[in-house]
Amino acid sequence: MAEEEKVTGTSSAIDVETAKHVDPTLEKHAHDADEAMKVFEDMHGEAIELDEATNRRLLRTIDWHMMPIMCFVYGMNYLDKTTLSYASVMGLKEDLHLKGDEYQWLGSLFYFGYLAWEYPTNRLLQRLPLGKYSAACIITWGLILSCFAGVKSYAGAIAIRLFLGVFEAAVTPGFALITSQWYTKREQGSRVNVWFSFNGVGQILGGVVAYGIAIGTEKHGSSIASWKIVFLFTGVLTIILGVIFYWIVPDNQLNARWLKKEDRVLAVARVRVNQQGIGNKHFKMYQVKEALLDPMTWAFFFYALIADIPNGGITNFFSQLITSFGFTKEESLILGVPGGAVEVIALVLNGYMGHRTNQRLLCSLGGLVSALVGIILIVALPQSNNVGRLIGYYMTQASPTAFVALLSMISSNVAGYTKKTTVAALYLIGYCVGNIIGPQSFRPKDAPRYVPAEITIIVCLAICLCIMVFIWWWYRKENARKLELQGRPDYVRLENQEWLDLTDRENPDFTYAL
């Protein structure tokens, strides 16, 4: 950022009128502009001074209030999904009388609920107050998860998993919108990596808690099954975090109770460089059409689908996979913990390197390569080499780096609020489909080695590497095209166009992050 940045506070009437003559389609943008536009219009041309010291102070304040609760909630988002994996080796299968591939379907059914509600929840994230709606979903999914402790049959488990998917569907797209709303493009990549890395923290916490409960109930006994205690613990903790989230996270900068009135305006002004605004509740069909015709939308979709076939399988079967290496069921609970640590380290390091080099996409390839080598080790090493195969499993836990890089690209590289929510929905629909397919690749007849599933994972990771390189090439090419357009003699830059809710393809000044 420059030593001192002077931000003009308004889009004056003459600027908007000029814009309409330059491009008649911008008349509609003036009427349904971003929520931030009214703030700057109300300032009647008053300039805003935003120097480097003020910007750093605001960023610290935003980080300290927003990041901790987002991190902890996202950790629970992962832990709540993987609680089923811990429960599978703590007596859940026997108590619910699961047979055949019923456990595999429980793993997939969560994503059927997620898939069915993904687009509707993205529309609600746009239409309803962002912070309040997200908090309501968090509290509700905690209540539903707690109810799993009362399940006594496969049918009851199906209902819980479906509704859990419905209410967790808002978290990832909601957090992507919040990140794009509060942080500049340069800041977004590292923040997304940090809150997503708490998936690993969730795995660490889950492994330690499940192991402690399993050992404790074995030694001292319990009036209820140990796996039910795990569901109660994670459900109640999620509810508590949801209440805290509701209190801390505002709908946008303009109603943040922990910011002074003047700082709220500055917090909006500091993100104007994103050329994206802070939110728009108007549904725009042309932006949906643009999203569906944008090659990057489908590159994102197919990446999520293919990458999450391995994720869906490993997430639901990692405890059983570790027992297949020759370890006991109790050991498998605690041996899953280092896998979470690997994910945290990989994501934080990836976020740091991407921020330093401005090459998020290329830096994220390291995690994919690590995962590919890891799964090859699991397949190629003999069954007697338990330690080597366990290390291979740990290496696979670095794979989310690329998925997170693309998630941060939705924050940074997709402009137009309706387009952004549409692309986020499609990305997470791909995520759901992949996670539905993934558990089905781990067939009971292939136990204990699950070789066909492992080969499927290798192929998927190799394809994902190719998709990531293509996305990087495409954005680089588009930036060069936009730079050439800006250099033309007839090019006109519209004043305050960042508040007009233009899409990334409409706005010639929009630069794609790499």
The two tokens of residue 169 are 């569907």
513 lies in a domain? no
506 lies in a domain? no
Three-class SS of residue 6? strand
- CB within 8 A of 187, min separation 6: which ones? 59, 355
Give which of 432, 445, 448, 440 is closest to 103, Cα–Cα. Answer: 440
359 lies in a domain? yes
Handedness of CA 139, 140, 142, 146 (dihedral sign): positive
Q: What is the four-CA torsion angle of 487, 488, 489, 493, rounded to 10 degrees?
A: -70
Query: In total, how many domains does the chain have?
Result: 1
pLDDT at position 118, please?
92
CATH number where 342 lies: 1.20.1250.20
Q: How many degrees, rounded to 5, is the angle at CA 247 between CA 241 and CA 251?
A: 110
Q: Are 65 and 248 in contact (CB under 8 A)?
A: yes
504 lies in a domain? no
514 lies in a domain? no
Stretches where the chain sits below pLDDT 50 are 1-26, 44
| Region for residue 49 given its phi and psi (left: phi exceeds 0; alpha: psi -120 to 50; beta: otherwise) | beta
pLDDT at position 44, please?
47
Q: Are 80 and 238 in contact (CB under 8 A)?
A: yes
- For 187-239, the three-class secondary structure string (H helix, E strand, C coil) is HHHHHHHHHHHHHHHHHHHHHHHHHHHHHHHHHHCCCCCHHHHHHHHHHHHHH
Q: Provide the residue type at 307 as one letter.
A: A
pLDDT at position 87, please?
81
pLDDT at position 239, please?
96
Give the separation between CA 370 and CA 17, rounded to whole angstroms.
54
Three-class SS of residue 49? strand
Q: Are 352 and 223 in contact (CB under 8 A)?
A: no
- For 147-171, the three-class secondary structure string (H helix, E strand, C coil) is HHHHCCCHHHHHHHHHHHHHHHCCH
Three-class SS of residue 128? coil
Instruction: Please state the φ and ψ torsions of residue 5, each to the nearest 5 degrees.
Output: -115, 125
432 lies in a domain? yes
pLDDT at position 307, please?
93
320 lies in a domain? yes
- Express each pLDDT in 21-30 by its tens digit: 344 444 555 5
Give the separation between CA 373 and CA 381, rounded to whole angstroms.
12
Three-class SS of residue 331? helix
Give the separation between CA 280 and CA 37, rounded to whole angstroms.
10
Give which of 228, 128, 192, 224 is closest to 355, Cα–Cα. Answer: 192
What residues are paired with 4 via a beta bridge?
51
Q: Are 69 and 182 in contact (CB under 8 A)?
A: no
Q: Provide the residue type at 138 as one letter.
A: I
Question: Which contacts of 95-98 are long-range, i.e. CB under 8 A and separated by 24 or more positions?
Answer: 95/152, 95/225, 95/227, 96/151, 96/152, 96/153, 96/154, 96/157, 97/153, 97/154, 98/154
pLDDT at position 280, please?
74
Residue length of the chain:
514
Give the separation between CA 45 and CA 316, rounded to whole angstroms.
56
The two tokens of residue 513 are 């992050």
The two tokens of residue 149 are 């402790």
Question: How many beta carbons lie within 10 A of that of residue 21, not counting itself?
Answer: 9
Three-class SS of residue 45? coil
Three-class SS of residue 419? helix
Three-class SS of residue 51? strand
Residue found under tokens 């690993």: 200
Q: What is the four-CA torsion angle of 111, 306, 98, 169, rounded to 10 degrees?
A: -10
417 lies in a domain? yes
The two tokens of residue 491 are 């090019």
- Express each pLDDT in 241-254 by its tens digit: 999 999 999 999 98
Q: Which domain does 429 fall in, by range?
A: 4-499
Handedness of CA 442, 444, 445, 451 (dihedral sign): positive
pLDDT at position 125, please?
93
Give which of 304, 345, 351, 74 is closest to 193, Cα–Cα. Answer: 351
Three-class SS of residue 186? helix
